[in-house]
Amino acid sequence: MKKLVVLTGAGMSAESGIRTFRDADGLWEEYPVEQVATPEGYAANPQLVLDFYNQRRRQLLEVKPNRGHEILAELEQYFQVTILTQNVDNLHERAGSSQVIHLHGELTKVTSSRDPNDPACIRELKPEEYEVKIGDLAADGSQLRPYIVWFGEPVPMISMAARYAQEADIFLIIGTSMNVYPAAGLLRYVPFQVPVYLIDPKEVPIGSGRPVQFLRKGASAGMEELKKMWVGSL
Q: In what order do the strands lie in the sheet with 196-199?
A: 100-102, 80-85, 3-8, 170-174, 196-199, 213-215
Per the CB < 8 A criterion, the answer to whether 48 and 40 are in contact is: no
Out of 4, 170, 204, 223, the only residue in the binding site for ligand OAD (CB under 6 A) is 204
Instruction: Check residue 109 for interaction with ligand OAD (CB under 6 A).
Output: no
Q: Kindly tell me the sign of the dihedral angle through the C-alpha atoms of 190, 196, 200, 205.
A: positive
Q: Which is nearer to ligand OAD, 190 or 198 (CB)?
A: 198
Count of Cβ atoms closer than 10 Å to residue 211 Cβ: 8
Instruction: Check residue 56 for interaction with ligand OAD (CB under 6 A).
Output: no
Instruction: Check residue 10 for interaction with ligand OAD (CB under 6 A).
Output: yes
CB of 105 to ligand OAD, least distance (A): 7
For residue 4, report the phi and psi dihedrals to the nearest 5 degrees: -100, 115
Helix, strand or coil, per DSSP, at residue 23? coil
Instruction: Check residue 4 for interaction with ligand OAD (CB under 6 A).
Output: no
Instruction: Check residue 104 for interaction with ligand OAD (CB under 6 A).
Output: yes
Instruction: Check residue 6 for interaction with ligand OAD (CB under 6 A).
Output: no
Which stretches of the chain bind ligand OAD, using CB under 6 A? 9-11, 14-15, 20-23, 26, 37, 86, 104, 149-150, 174-177, 179-180, 199-202, 204, 218-219
